[in-house]
Structure 1
């Protein structure tokens, strides 16, 4: 909610600056962009917790529960491998960001780049919890087609 509020306020400041004062405030646009990056990447982990990610589970829904749970193990492994690649790439990007500054705000690019490893770690935690619960039989294997179950 805080990141959304930052986005809304900075866009309103930009619009007011442009149309009321006839002056573009570049820092406001950049701040809104960085807030959106953080919001989307952290929101992906929350969506994993709430089982809101799009999935095609027609085949899984037709399988016996034991087979469906077994099928989740390689799926979870692939997801976690991808998140590990994103995490490592984010760490490398942070190193590059140490020598760069943003164009308008003149802040270190490490600040927006750190969103990648932080969000990948959070998403990975939520994925382990979600897949683990399904594999162990504590949660349904299918997610209801992207519809919240609670």
Structure 2
């Protein structure tokens, strides 16, 4: 499984304008609802519930909000580069400007965890994160996400 198996080019937001964690989650839920035909409110609630367990910010300006939905039929990813970093209650205290939304079917178990690990590994690579931050359009971001980690560095 590659990152591009999870995220389609139309699920890349190259310059998302948000001012808060809640607004970021609302925007991601709204856009994911359109692409997955899932209920926007259901997506938002799943993301909020997950954040209540602990922040999904993984450090280095990266957050990976995620959750499981009963009616989803396959893993779904969405990437957003924020225009301005926001506070996401990260353990390292750094504001977040790169977000990868990951939604999984209710019974996705190991696949969900493998996808989370792959996304976290990719986005915590400082060279890849730097390229993503420098990319200004969806096509450029997609090509960085499509590279194998060793090549992208």
Does TM, normalized by the shorter one, top 0.5? no
Higher share in helix: 1
More strand by share: 2
State TM-score, norm by structure 1. Answer: 0.29
